[in-house]
Amino acid sequence: MVLQPKSDPIPEAQAPERCLEAVERAVADLRRGGAVVITADDGDAVVARAAETVDTWPLAFFTSTGVGPMSLAITARRASILGLASTSRTVLLTASEPFTPECLRKLIDPQTEIGRVPPPGITAAAAPLHSAADAAVLLAKIARLLPAVLVAPLSSAPAAWARAGERLVVTAGAIEAHERHQADDLRPISEARVPLAGSENTRIISFRPHDGGAEHLAIVIGTPDPAKPILVRLHSECFTGDLLESLRCDCGDQLRGAVTTIAKDGGGVLLYLAQEGRGIGLVNKLRAYTLQDQGFDTVDANEQLGFDDDERVYLPAVRMLRQLGFTRVRLLTNNPAKVGALVRHGIDVTERVAHAFPSNSHNWAYLQTKAKRSGHLF
């Protein structure tokens, strides 16, 4: 779920547990280069494979009986980079020549100049909202892959076709509802006392959904009083900044500074959320860094890759706060979007507490972009 839903969710009749399991299995298949079958409520069905995993040609399951012409499903943002404007969320590309690995790389990889212009022989068409192809791109995002998927329609009996090839079937509805289901299913799993350099009186509580998906952490500092608005920081994990102390961002400073600030305030909670790189994952964040080195700012780099400038979700944070018994908070942030996200989901944000740190020569431009293009308040 995004901060402001871009469309109304389609009905989902399946049990959330079954949906979670199906989507997680589909994610695993996509990441290892396998194909999955995606079905939509209107009877639409496609066989789908993540484009960035294609390294051999031809792909046998796209040429078998019952499979229609192949297309490449990409986001409208990526299509616009290629000069193929569209008003739809997902765009279907067809080519006059076969989609070989080399052709696909030109279409999905912006790290070369040829990946920023429309290649010859490519035509574009809008994919219907909530269609199987539309859901396929969302599934690639959930898998933290580039949001580009080879899709081909199945003419009839998609379940039988999938069984014959021992391939998984997942519904578009399950994919659309995945982030909501994962957040709703979060539960505390383990807890331990972990003294920190900035606060010796600290507990860490791990949260995980039933399907074993992404784990989030609640770092409870001191003894916060649920009868009062507690000081809270929502911190998205950043391997490079938090662990390696990268100078390209201010994440490490914000993490360590939040622990110290909350401790001095008498107690509160730091939610450490598993959404690296503004929700695009570490691998894609490194791709974005390469683009930034070529002159793009952090927003444009994400969009070159086909992502929104910020793909993070905050429903897990809401779920964790509620399970911890905290519904009134003072939010330690410079990002008004975080305030809005919590308020929309019923958390009473009584105050936004500023949380800024000095820049350096490596992250000055990054911080300027956050202020000018993402609305951060410094």
> Band of the pLDDT at 343, cuts 50, 70, 90?
very high
Statement: residue 4 has pLDDT above 90? no
Tell me if 258 sits within 8 A of 361, measured CB to CB: no
Mean pLDDT in residue range 120-144? 95
Mean pLDDT of the chain: 89
* Cα gap 116→295, rounded to integer Å: 14
Write out pLDDT tens, residues 87-102: 899 999 998 888 888 8
* Cα gap 159→272, rounded to integer Å: 40
DSSP 348-376: EEEEEEP------TTTHHHHHHHHHHH--
Q: Give the pLDDT score at 9.
A: 36
Write out pLDDT tens, residues 206-241: 999 887 788 999 999 999 999 999 999 999 999 999
Q: Which residues are catalytic?
A: 310, 312
Q: Give the pLDDT score at 116.
A: 64
* Cα gap 263→332, rounded to integer Å: 13
Burial class (CB within 10 angstroms; exposed 0-12, middle 13-18, buried 19+) of 265: middle
Tell me if 311 sits within 8 A of 303, measured CB to CB: no
Statement: residue 1 has pLDDT above 80? no
Neighbour count for residue 257 (Cβ, 10 Å):
17
Q: How many CA atoms lie within 13 A of 246 on its CB side?
A: 14
pTM of the model: 0.90
**Beta strands in the chain, from DSSP E residues, in sequence order:** 36-39, 45-50, 71-75, 90-95, 122-127, 148-153, 169-171, 187-193, 202-208, 216-222, 230-236, 267-273, 328-332, 348-353
Domain 186-275+312-374, second-level architecture = 3-Layer(aba) Sandwich (3.40)
Write out pLDDT tens, residues 134-176: 999 999 999 999 999 999 999 878 888 888 888 899 999 999 9
The torsion angles phi and psi of 254, rounded to 5 degrees, stand at -65, -40
Q: Give the pLDDT score at 7.
A: 33
Instruction: Decide the pairing of beta strands 230-236 and 328-332.
Output: parallel
Range of lowest pLDDT (86-90, 192-196, 371-375): 371-375
Burial class (CB within 10 angstroms; exposed 0-12, middle 13-18, buried 19+) of 353: middle
Nearest to 155 by CA among 65, 253, 249: 65
Domain ranges of the chain: 16-180, 186-275+312-374
Residue 122: beta bridge partners?
A: 95
Q: Give the pLDDT score at 2.
A: 30
Write out pLDDT tens, residues 239-249: 999 999 999 99
Mean pLDDT in residue range 288-303? 93
**Residue 18 token pair:** 């079954």
Residue 271: beta bridge partners?
A: 218, 234
Statement: residue 287 has pLDDT above 50? yes
Statement: residue 355 has pLDDT above 90? no
Give the CATH fold of the 16-180 domain.
DHBP synthase (3.90.870)
Of 11-15, 132-136, 337-341, which has the strongest mean pLDDT?
132-136
